[in-house]
Amino acid sequence: MDLRDYPHRDIALVYLGREIENERTILLVWGYGWQGTYAATVLMSHPNVWSVYGDRHLLLLEWVDNGDGLITWDEIHVVVPQHRPLPAPPSQSGSLDTPIFGYMPWLFRGNSFHVVGDTAYCTDVLGTANVSWFFGSKYPSDYIYVQRPEGRTTTILTTSEHQAGNLLLTGGPAVNPLAEEFDQYFNVSYDYQPGLYFQIMSDGQSLRLNLSEYPHKDICIIHLGHHNNRNVLIIWGYGWQGTYAGTLFMTYPSYWNIFSNYHMLLLEWEDQNWDGLVQIDEILVGHAGYGPHAV
């Protein structure tokens, strides 16, 4: 790639290999810039790619911008091996069903965007993968197609996406301005007393973290609602551990069923094995908001 063409053009590779010594499979996905890396992840999010290139372990691709600075399916071209045309994933829009967790597969079926702050920890970005693992496939119980959300930072999110898209917001007000914005719409608030405690309040309920116990304990809010005829999911904690715990909790459709008639959860996480990582069995539901949120 001629670097004078960057950032309007980028290149990337996808390599699937087997490490014999440790008996594990490794998938490498990276480009020169973030655009190439993101383009490669978009390509690999389409299950048809896995079958069309089912006899390959290496793909080299290029991305050429149409002028908007964003990565779309029709801008990605596989160079090695020879390009094999693929239909774009079907376009859909989210449903305006009642905003409760039981309707999660329908609320974010299309025109949906993961949004993290530009200054967020990379763990916030990793957490979006927890929330969206089932997107791009068929939801197991009903076999409905669920379109993969696009990834955005608060800087590259377009005005139309901000105003009309279904939004999955990860990261709290300190790092994600949209979390602060939609917290106000949904009456989510917090009380921070440095060195003492951090408290999250929503729907007349609250959860408090003694800051002397952080980072071995953390708290998080998950809040689902409608705003201007679109769906919004907020997930954030005091620290990255709380936020990640919220995204991990939303990985499990079984919890959508258990809390199917709820729209808000306040979670507690405690590092019970002191390994510094967040595991699902370390997460407890402190409070839950029943029914759809009423603004």
List residues bridging with 18 in a β-sheet: 25
Q: Angle CA(33)–CA(153)–CA(79) in degrees, nearest 5?
A: 35
CA 272 to chain centre: 26
CA distances from 263 to 36, 253, 288 (A): 37, 14, 8
Burial of 13 (0-12, 13-18, 19+ CB in 10 A): middle
Identity (one letter) of the amino acid at 102? G
Q: Are 202 and 289 in contact (CB under 8 A)?
A: yes
Tokens of 101: 């967790």
Strands 231-237, 166-170: pairing is parallel
Q: Which residue has the tokens 């071209």?
A: 77
If 0-12 CB within 10 Å is exposed, 13-18 middle and 19+ buried, where does residue 228 land? exposed
Q: Do the Cβ atoms of 46 and 89 come closer than 8 Å?
A: yes
User: What is the DSSP track for 68-107?
Assistant: SSS--GGGEEEEES-----PPPPP-----S-SSGGGHHHH
pLDDT of residue 30: 98
pLDDT tens series, the chain, 295 aa: 999 999 999 999 999 999 989 899 999 999 999 999 999 999 998 878 988 999 999 999 999 999 999 999 999 999 999 888 887 776 777 788 899 999 987 898 889 999 999 998 899 999 998 888 766 554 444 445 567 889 999 999 999 999 999 999 999 999 999 999 999 999 999 999 999 999 999 999 999 999 999 999 999 999 999 999 999 999 999 999 999 999 999 998 899 999 999 999 999 999 999 999 999 999 999 999 999 987 6
Residue 143 confidence (pLDDT)? 45
Prediction pTM value: 0.90
What is the Cα–Cα distance from 98 to 102, expressed in whole angstroms?
9
Phi, psi dihedrals of residue 18, rounded to the nearest 5°: -120, 120
Phi-psi region of 32 (alpha: psi -120 to 50; beta: other; left: phi over 0): alpha
Q: Catalogue the long-range contacts made by 132-140 (C-beta closer than 8 Å, 24 or more residues apart).
A: 132/168, 133/251, 134/105, 134/253, 135/45, 135/108, 136/45, 136/46, 136/47, 136/89, 137/47, 139/105, 139/253, 140/253
